[in-house]
Amino acid sequence: MEHQYKQEVLDHLATHGVRPTRASSPDLVHAFLNDLYRYELRRLRDRLLRRDIVKSDYYNHVVQVRHRYPLLALKVWNWTEP
């Protein structure tokens, strides 16, 4: 099955180095993007535990990471053209 991703979705995915083809399932791409997001959060937590960042700044760092992944707030079926 082929999928026609919306251009703004493709543009955002490209910022993370993700370039799905028409054959790429939106569910698979979403899962991959979610894994990247979780990886960044774990890395941030590790930095906190190593005391590379202070606890009072941790929340702001988490919010910054969250803002880099707005596609995760959309339902997967909104990623493609009807």
**Mean pLDDT score of the chain, rounded to an integer?**
97
What pTM was estimated for this model as a whole? 0.90
Q: Where are the alpha helices (DSSP H) in 1-82?
A: 7-15, 26-49, 55-67
Say what percent of the chain tops pLDDT 90. Answer: 98
Kindly indicate the confidence band of residue 1, based on its pLDDT and cuts at 50, 70 and 90.
confident
Query: What is the widest separation between alpha-carbon atoms in the chain?
Result: 48
Lookup: tokens for 75:
């339902």
pLDDT of residue 55: 95
Q: What is the mean predicted confidence (pLDDT) over 25-53? A: 97
pLDDT for the residue 82: 86
Q: How many other C-beta atoms can be found within 10 angstroms of the C-beta atom of residue 6?
A: 13
Distance CA 26, CA 80 (A): 8
Distances in whole angstroms, Cα of residue 53 to Cα of each of 16, 44, 50, 60, 67: 24, 9, 8, 11, 19
